[in-house]
Amino acid sequence: MDRTKIDLWVGIFAAIGVAALLGLAMKVGNLTTSNIGETYTVTAGFQNIGGLKPRSPVKSAGVVVGRIDAIQFDSATYEARVTLKLDKRYLFPKDTFANIYTAGLLGEQYIGLEPGGDEDYLQENDKIMQTQDAVVLEKMISQFLYSKATETKE
Amino acid sequence: MSSKAVSKLASALQNFGHRLIDQFWRLGSASRLFGYTLASSGESLRRPFLVIREIYFTGVLSLIIILVSAFFVGMVLALQGYNTLQKYGSSEAIGVLVALSLVRELGPVVTALLFAGRAGTAITAEIGLMKATEQLSAMEMMAVSPIARVIAPRFWGGVISMPLLASLFSMVGILGGYLVAVPLIGVDGGAFWSQMQASVDFREDVMNGFIKSCVFGVACTMIALFEGYDAPPTAEGVSRATTRTVVNSSLAVLGLDFVMTSFMIS
């Protein structure tokens, strides 16, 4: 086999190999969706975050408006302090409600933002005051069983 | 204890010690060859056609087996995954399952195993035969370093081919999974891709898989080169060296995979 033919084949091989890597990054991975451009940071405190993880999405009306940057334990208030990075294009009122939801029955958990009616918007490093914790299935079941047990006693 | 049993035990111990020392000797000699290869890489990279020719032999000629197996692995993953996921009513997560298992594990590992079988054996047999027919000694007589002329180009050819092959494996596997999941089974195509994109992280999953495949490339190619270079210059020696290439490369790949995964998961 002569030199130019080998060069050609190796060139094609390298091109499709690099294309596959780019395809993995763009089509399969989240390289295109993860950088949402300019962001601002707000925090929220939760009693229980359930299975929330860093990089989980933050949605409002079902649209991804940001991602969770970090989750820490606040030893002063014994709460989980969740840092959210929100897209600069989307502004939310100061009395926005932050809930932890689950996508489907067994899906990943995310934060859903429900805008309130305040005229001022959340600024950089503000804290979301109203939050609702993750639903812990075991707790719900035990409450249900407990209420059933007290019902039958009466 | 009779003296016969003692001498039997002693000879068994002696045999074991001899083998152990032999393994250490081989490890050290392989490291020395690795060092020499890196040291003379500059010399062989200055003649890029040598490396391009090796990429052709190790990479391009391995394409068919890699792509066909990737396609079937992806299709089987989708079939098996759907069977289980559908019991929990989350058959849309099949894209996540196929993509994560391919990008993180199966892509680099299966590619490396196939690479060891397809390209590694060829390298070992070629170098072993070059040694048996005294071509390497002839080069030395002509003041051409066989390491710079024969070993280093093959090393770089393998190291460059391996990550490209692994990326292709993952991509074609995901396409195979898509073909089974979406047109054949009828999972929603949008959910397939969007859930995949939501849970496959570029740095955590794609890059880590890429790093794995680079390490496997170095390990497989180096083992194949060393076994060939170290083979006794007989027909039997070359055949044994070829077998050892496959066995050692496979074990090295699986062992290294565990070590790297435990680093990456934490």
In a domain, A153, yes or no: no
pLDDT of A91 reads: 87
Domain count, chain A: 2
DSSP letter assigned to residue B180: I
pLDDT of B160 reads: 93
**Which residues of A sit within 8 Å Cβ distance of B?**
1, 3, 6-7, 9-10, 12-14, 16-18, 20-21, 23-25, 27-34, 55, 57, 104-108
Residues in chain A with CB shorter than 8 Å from the CB of B205 are 29
A97 and A44 assigned to the same domain: yes
The low-confidence residues of chain B, meaning pLDDT below 70, are 1, 266
pLDDT of A154 reads: 60
A17 and A63 assigned to the same domain: no
* Least Cα separation, residue A6 to chain B (angstroms): 6
A7 and A53 assigned to the same domain: no
The low-confidence residues of chain A, meaning pLDDT below 50, are none
pLDDT of A102 reads: 82
Using DSSP, state whether A72 is helix, strand or coil.
strand
A68 and A89 assigned to the same domain: yes
The range of the structural domain enclosing residue B54 comes to 25-265
A29 and A68 assigned to the same domain: no
**Cβ density class A1-10: b for 16+ within 10 Å, e for less:** eeeeebeebb
Residues in chain B with CB shorter than 8 Å from the CB of A29 are 103, 197, 200-202, 205-206
In a domain, B12, yes or no: no
pLDDT of B211 reads: 94
pLDDT of A141 reads: 87
A105 and A122 assigned to the same domain: yes
pLDDT of A106 reads: 66
The range of the structural domain enclosing residue A48 comes to 36-141
pLDDT of A32 reads: 58
A87 and A107 assigned to the same domain: yes
In a domain, B247, yes or no: yes
**Number of Cβ pairs closer than 8 Å across A and B?**
93
A43 and A107 assigned to the same domain: yes
Kindly determine whether residue A24 and residue B56, on different chains, have CB atoms separated by under 8 Å.
no
As a whole number of angstroms, the distance between CA B44 and CA B60 comes to 20
As a whole number of angstroms, the distance between CA B18 and CA B16 comes to 5
A12 and A80 assigned to the same domain: no
As a whole number of angstroms, the distance between CA B238 and CA B245 comes to 10
pLDDT of B179 reads: 94
pLDDT of B216 reads: 96
A106 and A57 assigned to the same domain: yes
**Distances from the Cα of A80 to the Cαs of A31, A139, A140, B266, in angstroms?**
28, 18, 21, 22
Q: What is the pTM of this model?
A: 0.77
